[in-house]
Amino acid sequence: IAGITQAPTSQILAAGRRMTLRCTQDMRHNAMYWYRQDLGLGLRLIHYSNTAGTTGKGEVPDGYSVSRANTDDFPLTLASAVPSQTSVYFCASSDGLPAEQFFGPGTRLTVL
């Protein structure tokens, strides 16, 4: 692994299903973030974690949960997916704040 990775690359999901998007970084960054990107709405922060064991709510946290059991991994879970959660999801990490954020390649999620 080099940098920050996300899985899956894309997913089509039926409404009501549970889904976990995975994010892993090998840069030993303390801080990690989840954003969703929708046309015309930019990058909206869902949840973030400034260090392992802590998480915080961003601009649009409803319907999503996160955990940060260790430094490297920051999974995002949709407990019961809805069509409005159709989006491109980006994970990012940084060596604390304020500092450059490094983004993963993104996950394109479609909820039908």
Partner 1 sequence: GENVEQHPSTLSVQEGDSAVIKCTYSDSASNYFPWYKQELGKRPQLIIDIRSNVGEKKDQRIAVTLNKTAKHFSLHITETQPEDSAVYFCAATMNRDDKIIFGKGTRLHILP
Sheet holding 4-7, edge to edge: 4-7, 19-25, 76-78, 64-66
Instruction: Judge contact between 11 and 109, C-beta under 8 A.
Output: yes
Residue nearer to partner 1 on the CB measure, 28 or 42: 42
Q: What residues pair up with 23 in beta bridges, in sequence order?
A: 6
- Judge contact between 21 and 85, C-beta under 8 A: no
Q: Which is nearer to partner 1, 8 or 16 (CB)?
A: 8
Q: In angstroms, what is the minimal distance from the CB of 103 to partner 1?
A: 4
Q: Which is nearer to partner 1, 81 or 109 (CB)?
A: 109
- Interface residues with partner 1 (CB under 8 A) are 33, 35, 40-45, 48, 50, 56, 58-59, 90, 97-101, 103-106
